[in-house]
Amino acid sequence: MEKILLLLHTEPDGSLARPALEAVTAAQALAPHRLTIGLIGASVDTGAAQAAGCSTRILAVTGEPFAQSRYATDAAAAEALCRAAEAELVLAPSTARWSRVLPGVALRLNGRIDTHATALARQNGVPAVTRWFYRQRIEAVLTRAQRPWFILLDPGCCAPYPGAPGAAQIETVVVETPACRTAVTGIQAPPAGEQTIRPDAKLLFVAGAGWTKKQSDGAVHAAEAEQLILGFLHASQGSLGGSKSLVDQSGEGEAVLKCMTHLNQVGQTGSTPRHPKGLSTCCHGEEPHTVGWRFVTERRAINLDPSCGWARGKADVLYVADAFQVLRELIAILR
Ligand SMILES: Cc1cc2nc3c(=O)[nH]c(=O)nc-3n(C[C@H](O)[C@H](O)[C@H](O)COP(=O)(O)OP(=O)(O)OC[C@H]3O[C@@H](n4cnc5c(N)ncnc54)[C@H](O)[C@@H]3O)c2cc1C
């Protein structure tokens, strides 16, 4: 069997976050209990203990220079771990940190890389990767002869590895800190409560252009729409998605929802998020939009139009109703 290395970076407290534990589960499909794990971080003891039950060998590059995401240090550490493990197959979760650095590491080692893998398995004894092409319309299973083969695993496709923490023996790999032009001085991010895109949320809440259209009284109610959408998100802790028509409106000088940007857009030219449930409101449910719902397990929609796109097999349940009224009720119940 080929040598398989799973690269993981630890969090500031030394533990493994959910995407890392999901990658452990995915890697088990190829190498049950025969996995080498390569850890990077300021400290890795907690993370090593979390993964101890599924690995035969744990390698680590540790120390302050490897605490922060930075191309030069991460690439040097990953390259050293791949060489120490003599890895033929290198797996890693698609975190921003690994996505940035691993294509370059694959080049250094004369390997190849595939991204956005959703599953790993063996086909006729050789490793095979499942991924989607053409904006999630075609699912393919592919293999490669080139080694080392690097594979980035999309988050949200596997359950996190549930193993109980165990005693881990860590082999330290010494890496000379490369010349760095980048000093990481800190992270600036909005408080979690103000974020509207929450990839881990149980619910995807989608707002469509209907929220900014004239309503039954002949008037537009964009301010109330924004209040209701944010009120519902606050109460449900859902993640906010939008249709293209809605997020494009700011450029057209129409009534806009300030909480919406192009980052919220779901669909063919937007994102394809993974959530267990989705609720669409004031959105027609056309194919270029609903193709972004490919990985939403249970889908519901609220629309005034009983023959909207959602009614044609795109949603499990369509509520033919006024979304303004439904959201007012829902918020009252949730509060
Ligand atoms: C190449 C291409 C790529 C595209 N990519 C994307 C993409 O990535 N994402 C995307 O979203 N679109 C995409 N589109 C556009 C897509 O085809 C639709 O035009 C768009 O999704 C429509 O947005 P909407 O449903 O919000 O707006 P509309 O079609 O205007 O629908 C508004 C809906 O709101 C309902 N409504 C109004 N008031 C209420 C109320 N009070 N209560 C309940 N319902 C109400 C109406 O009945 C209506 O169905 C793409 C199109 C093309 C050609």
The segment(s) of the chain belonging to CATH 3.40.50.620 are 4-172
CA of 200 to the centre of ligand 1 (A): 25
Residue nearest to atom 53 of ligand 1 (CA): 288
Residue 192 confidence class, pLDDT cut points 50, 70, 90: low
Structure tokens at 194: 């103000």
Which CATH number is associated with domain 4-172? 3.40.50.620
> What per-residue confidence (pLDDT) applies to 135?
74
> What per-residue confidence (pLDDT) applies to 189?
75
Compare 134 and 33 and report the one with higher pLDDT. Answer: 134
CB contact at 8 A, 273 and 296: yes
> What per-residue confidence (pLDDT) applies to 210?
97
Pocket probe mutation, ligand 1, options 282, 294, 319, 324, max atoms within 8 Å of Cβ? 282
Residue 299, pLDDT above cutoff 90: yes
> Worst-scoring range by mean pLDDT, 95-104, 132-141, 189-198, 308-317?
189-198
Average pLDDT over residues 284-291: 96
Q: How many helices (H) and strands (E) does the chain have?
A: 8, 14
CB distance 249 to ligand 1 below 6 Å: no
The mean pLDDT of the chain is: 93
Contacts of 189-196 with CB under 8 Å at 24 or more apart are: 193/234, 196/230, 196/233, 196/239, 196/240, 196/259, 196/264
CB distance 209 to ligand 1 below 6 Å: yes
Domain 192-334: CATH architecture, name and number where available = 3-Layer(aba) Sandwich (3.40)
Q: Which atom of ligand 1 is nearest to the CA of 323?
A: 42
Backbone angles phi and psi of 280, in degrees to 5: -100, 140
Strands, E, within the chain: which ranges? 4-9, 35-41, 55-62, 89-93, 112-123, 126-133, 138-142, 149-153, 170-172, 203-207, 239-242, 277-281, 298-303, 317-320
CB distance 94 to ligand 1 below 6 Å: no
Compare 190 and 159 and report the one with higher pLDDT. Answer: 159
69 to each of 4, 176, 217, how far by Cα in Å?
A: 23, 16, 53
CB distance 322 to ligand 1 below 6 Å: yes
CA of 242 to the centre of ligand 1 (A): 9
Report for 107-111, 165-169, 193-197, 248-252: range of highest mean pLDDT: 107-111
> What per-residue confidence (pLDDT) applies to 32?
80
CB distance 302 to ligand 1 below 6 Å: yes
Please confirm whether the linkage preceding 178 is cis (ω < 30° from 0): no
Residue 34 confidence class, pLDDT cut points 50, 70, 90: confident
Q: How far apart are CA 84 and CA 82, in angstroms?
A: 6
State the DSSP code for 325: H
Question: CB under 8 Å to 219, separation ≥6 — which residues?
Answer: none
> What per-residue confidence (pLDDT) applies to 98?
98
Q: How far apart are CA 136 and CA 29, in angstroms?
A: 23
> What per-residue confidence (pLDDT) applies to 199?
87
Q: How far apart are CA 249 and CA 96, in angstroms?
A: 29
> What per-residue confidence (pLDDT) applies to 193?
67
Residue 125 has, within 13 A of its CA and on its CB side, a CA count of: 2
CB distance 215 to ligand 1 below 6 Å: yes
CB contact at 8 A, 45 and 127: no
CB distance 68 to ligand 1 below 6 Å: no
Residue 333, pLDDT above cutoff 70: yes
> What per-residue confidence (pLDDT) applies to 182?
87
The segment(s) of the chain belonging to CATH 3.40.50.1220 are 192-334
Backbone angles phi and psi of 252, in degrees to 5: -100, 5
Q: What percent of the chain has pLDDT over 70?
A: 97
Nearest to 42 by CA among 70, 23, 82, 5: 70
What is the three-class DSSP state of 239?
strand
